[in-house]
Chain A
Amino acid sequence: MPAYNEAENIGRVLDDVLSLRLSADIAVVNDGSEDATEAIAKSRGVKVITLPFNLGYGAALQTGFKYAAVRGYEYVVQFDSDGQHDVADLVKIISSLENGEADLIIGSRFVEGGSFKAGVFKRIVIKLMSALIKIITGAVITDPTSGFKGYQKQIYVYYSKYNNFPDDYPDADILVKMLKMGYKAKELPISVRQREHGKSMHSGLKPVVYLIQMLLSILIITIRNEKPKSKGEQE
């Protein structure tokens, strides 16, 4: 769970996650928060990995992957700490990973059973990304920008390594890359709430920058055309 200045949300989110009594370790990557995020997370008894300063969402997520890689976990679930994700969906994602249904499980707000009220611009961006993924890889991914994903070991270990992870926003671009490398992705319906407190990382002009950056990243991945690697090779 990457977290940056989420003091108003993290306690409630962790309480909800812990109430599920999952047979999984929970780690919060405190991305250099200036508020009480770290203290609140520690007070709930979960693992807290603290970055000395804010590196951004992607780097915080990759830090979690690095920790998981050293610990040798079989799979990792990426879950936002802003309270937008429904913890009940965690069970579905974990069970799908445990059953080996796919290498990557994506929590989708747009497949049947999912729910989310998105703004017009956000919907356009998501539709555009989905269409690009379909054109490039042939796969149907309805929610490429979802921040609720489950990764099998071979995938998260690969992305835990230096230079293998996008600098800022790991979203549709890593999906394109993984699908092109021959990994299987599956979407499961999830419910997403509007955040109650704090500021979204996609506020202001950031969605426009995000869109341009993502299009460029997808273009570069397509041009690079990295060959599929064997699973053993990536570990």
Chain B
Amino acid sequence: MNISIRIVVFLFGVLFIIGTIRLLLVKKIGERYSVFWLVGCFVILVLSVVPSLVDRIAALIRISYPPTLILLLATLLLFWLCLYNSIHITLLKRRITELTQRKAVEDALSEDEKQVSR
């Protein structure tokens, strides 16, 4: 990896960290969800400073073309994140449905009570 690409990757890593912290400050992302992005940014920073790390890990697990390792890891991590988000969306949808239904039923019941007391 030549120096200019390393600098660009490093800057992207720094920008992502600043962006994530900014989102945390304005409460647009929770601490729990920001951990994934901060760890991801940290990995980008490390790889931009020590790119030979990829070659060494790739050699260790017998991957002949080291950049494939980055693509593989990124794909797996993003896939896992999508699944994690799908689980959370399902849970939130069910909770919102339950709350909405309870509210509608309670409104209907209080209307019934009003009609009885009239």
Q: Which residues of A contact B (CB under 8 A)?
A: 27, 29, 47-53, 55, 59, 62-63, 66-67, 70, 162-163, 167
Number of A-B residue pairs, CB cutoff 8 Å, is: 44
Tell me if B94 and A162 are in contact (CB < 8 A): yes
Tell me if A52 and B93 are in contact (CB < 8 A): no
Given A47-B108, A49-B108, A167-B93, answer yes or no on A162-B98 (Cβ-Cβ < 8 Å): yes
Interface SS of B by simple majority: helix
Q: Is B97 an interface residue (CB 8 A)?
A: yes
Which of A48, A52, A53, A167 is B94 in contact with, Cβ under 8 Å? A167
What 1/0 flags go to B71-98 for Cβ under 8 Å of A? 0000000000000000000100110011
Tell me if B104 and A50 are in contact (CB < 8 A): yes
Which of A48, A53, A63, A167 is B105 in contact with, Cβ under 8 Å? A63
Tell me if B104 and A52 are in contact (CB < 8 A): yes
Tell me if A50 and B107 are in contact (CB < 8 A): yes
Tell me if A52 and B100 are in contact (CB < 8 A): yes
Complex alpha-carbon distance, A63 and B107, angstroms: 12
Complex alpha-carbon distance, A206 and B102, angstroms: 28
Tell me if B104 and A51 are in contact (CB < 8 A): yes
Q: How near does chain A come to B64, taking the closest CB pair, in angstroms? A: 39
By a CB distance below 8 angstroms, the chain B residues around A49 are 104-105, 107-108
Q: Is B49 an interface residue (CB 8 A)?
A: no
Q: Is B29 an interface residue (CB 8 A)?
A: no
By a CB distance below 8 angstroms, the chain A residues around B102 are 66
Q: How near does chain A come to B94, taking the closest CB pair, in angstroms? A: 7
By a CB distance below 8 angstroms, the chain A residues around B105 are 49, 63, 66-67, 70
Tell me if B100 and A70 are in contact (CB < 8 A): no
Q: Is B11 an interface residue (CB 8 A)?
A: no
By a CB distance below 8 angstroms, the chain B residues around A47 are 108, 112
- Apart from A49-B108, A62-B101, what 14 extra A-B contacts exist at CB < 8 Å? A27-B108, A49-B104, A51-B100, A51-B104, A52-B100, A52-B103, A53-B100, A55-B97, A59-B100, A63-B101, A67-B105, A162-B98, A167-B94, A167-B97
Q: Is B59 an interface residue (CB 8 A)?
A: no
Name the residue of chain A whose CB is nearest to the CB of B93. A167
Q: How near does chain A come to B56, taking the closest CB pair, in angstroms? A: 43
Q: How near does chain A come to B36, taking the closest CB pair, in angstroms? A: 26
Q: Is B109 an interface residue (CB 8 A)?
A: yes
Name the residue of chain B whose CB is nearest to the CB of A30. B104
24 contacts between A and B (CB under 8 A): A29-B104, A47-B108, A49-B104, A49-B107, A49-B108, A50-B104, A51-B101, A52-B103, A53-B100, A55-B97, A55-B101, A59-B97, A59-B101, A63-B101, A63-B104, A66-B102, A67-B105, A67-B108, A67-B109, A70-B105, A162-B94, A167-B90, A167-B93, A167-B97
